[in-house]
Structure 1
Amino acid sequence: MHKDTVERLERFYDAVPRDSARAEEHGGLVLFVREGAGWPFYARPRLDAATPPTLADVAAVRERQRELGLPEAFEWVHEINPDLLAVARSAGLAALEAPLLVLDPAALPEPATLGDVPVRLLDPADPDFAAAVAAHRAIAAVGFSAPGTDRGPAGPAERDAALNELDVAALDEEQARIADGRRLSALAGTPEDGALASGMAMRVADVAEIAGVATLPVARRRGLGAAVTATLARALLKAGTDLIFLSAGSEEIARVYLRVGFRRIGTACIAEPAPVVP
């Protein structure tokens, strides 16, 4: 990877959680602990660590995560911390090696050429904003419960069953982050079927990560995930973002993003306790 790109990615990874979490340092690792409600964060290698994270560092963080009732989750870029994969596995963690991709803006297609369903960005001024945010989260819950790109039976009925009413604090946070440009969210759908695919982007200055792109299994293989990704990427470029990246859950999923103009530059590792075999 290009040195400048690596450094910018690392600064981004470190900055995003600090917006809503406190940082606890444990040797070569930093654990981000969310303040208040919301999706829990993870531990990552410290930006300023003089030495790579050790097995003792991993053990200390896991003990602290258990103490706080947090998932025992770790994330890092393999090319930056190549020794951490073996350390994590020796600690009993299972690691996903996810393709890490960066956008080539010149290769970004028009969203309308990718899917057969319109895509819109969520706007806090819209009267249906709360319902759209709830649909976004419900699609993610249904989509990620059936990983991959294969079609399946789960569709609008399962999405509607997964809908949860948002509390005021969660909705206010979403509104504030979209309003000041730190977050973008998108939905693809039709009046007949409602929202079928969703995705989001997190932005810090001129770097952004696209994440959480999900499609209801019944609507897969129609280019909706690609169209959502391209819509978010175009909006980010228009806002002045010049480094846009994402991590794909598998090589199969990465091929969807290659169609949108993303190019692989490395591997993002996500580690958690290995499942217990009965």
Structure 2
Amino acid sequence: MFGADVHAYLRAAAGDRAVRSGPFMIRFDEHDDALAFNYAIPDDDAAPTADEIAALIAEFRGRARTPRLEYVPQAAPKVEGALSAAGFTVEGRYPLLVCPPDEVVDTPVDIRVELVTDDAALWQAARVMNEAFEAPEATEHDVARFRRVLDGGGLVAVALDGAEAVGAGQLGRPHRGVAEVAGIAVRASHRRRGIAGAVTALLTRGGTAAGITTPFLTPGDDGAARVYARVGYRKVGEALHIVLH
């Protein structure tokens, strides 16, 4: 089941600072309280009790974080009902898409799109992503996060209009050939020019050298899904984001 592979990847991506709470592994970012950087992943086939969910909530509250999970419900079908009973509400259900690197469809664009590793370019990528996702101004912690991705075998890409970065994205640190394409961002001034697709295609194909055979992503809306479909991504399941406000 591919959902189990995604769960294994998410647990590995949580790193050595991950916190175990009953049948959940929690990823916390001590520098950033954004929902996208703080979430739990259930064990496969978990059937959490009310006490285990209460303990999970306490772990988040104790760190001034919002209790939240990102997972594949097909791999843990009993979890959603237990969370709903505890007051969690669905933030979103997103298609889970995959694309083998050798099936990528390139998107021609009139600007340069490239993989980057130097700090100056990583700062550019962080600024583009934070601006596009209406996050606070980029900091050194955003760059350090990219550096950990690169150190673990992942990739970061930027799209450049002259010297100005106008698009960016990343491919996470691989785990058993699986990695997530994430943070695909384009500045408002350059949207609808194929840049998101070009960044996605470059990251997807580039993962081959890192041993990534199964890149996946979860588009946030139908428009993004259409962009990824044109690159070659197809639906294989569903991802659930669920939160307790």
Q: Provide, for residues 86-117 of structure 1, a one-character-per-residue CA deviation record: whole Å limited to 9, x for no partner.
A: 33333332321011111144431234x2x332
Worse overlay, 37-46 or 251-260:
37-46
**Quick one: structure 1 residues 55 and 101, their matched pair in 2 at CA, closer, same or farther if it must change by over 3 Å?**
farther
Distance 1:206 1:189, change over 3 A: same
- 1:64 matched to 2:59? The reply is yes
C-alpha distance in 2 between matches for 1:177 and 1:106: 23
TM-score (norm 2): 0.85
Alignment of 1:234-253 (within 5 A): 234-253=205-224
Using a 3 Å threshold, how does the CA distance of structure 1 residues 248 and 13 change in structure 2: closer, same or farther? same
Equivalent residue for 1:8? Answer: 5
Deviations 1:3-45 (A, max 9, x none): 2x3332222122111x24132222x3232345x5467431111
Q: Distance in 1 between matches of 2:73 and 2:152?
A: 32
Conserved in 1, the CA contact under 8 Å of 2:146 and 2:156? no
Between the aligned partners of 1:176 and 1:271, the Cα distance in structure 2 is 26
Given that residues 103 and 244 in structure 1 are in contact (C-alpha distance below 8 angstroms), is that contact kept between their aligned partners in structure 2? yes
The percent of aligned pairs where both chains have the same amino acid is: 26
Partner of 2:170: 200
Counterpart CA distance in 1 for 2:75 and 2:139 is: 40
SS of corresponding position for 2:74: coil
Gaps in structure 1 of 5+ consecutive residues: 124-128, 147-161
- 1:39-118 matches, within 5 Å, as 40-47=37-44, 51-95=46-90, 96-111=92-107, 113=108, 115-118=109-112
What does the per-residue CA deviation read over 1:182-216, in whole Å, with 9 as the maximum and x for residues that have no partner?
x2111112116x11111001122421111111111
Equivalent residues of 2:40, 2:69 under 8 A apart: yes
Query: Considering only aligned residues, what root-mean-square deviation do their CA atoms show, in Å?
Result: 2.5
CA-CA distance at 1:64 after TM superposition: 1.9
Deviates more, 1:172-181 or 1:263-272: 172-181
| TM-score, length of structure 1 as denominator length | 0.76
Counterpart amino acid of 1:166? E
- Decide whether the 8 Å contact of 2:7 with 2:41 is kept in 1: no
- The equivalent of 2:131 in structure 1 is 142
For residues 176 and 140 of structure 1, the distance between their equivalents in structure 2, rounded to whole angstroms, comes to: 17
- Worse overlay, 84-93 or 264-273: 84-93
AA in 2 matched with 1:119: V
Check conservation: 1:99, 1:251, Cα contact below 8 A: no
1:154: which partner in 2?
none
Pick from 160, 163, 182 the counterpart of residue 189 of structure 1. 160
Distance 2:235 2:150 in 1: 28
Contact 1:104 1:263 in 2 (8 A): no
Aligned pairs (5 A) from 1:222-261: 222-261=193-232
Cα 1:173/1:136, change in 2 over 3 Å: closer
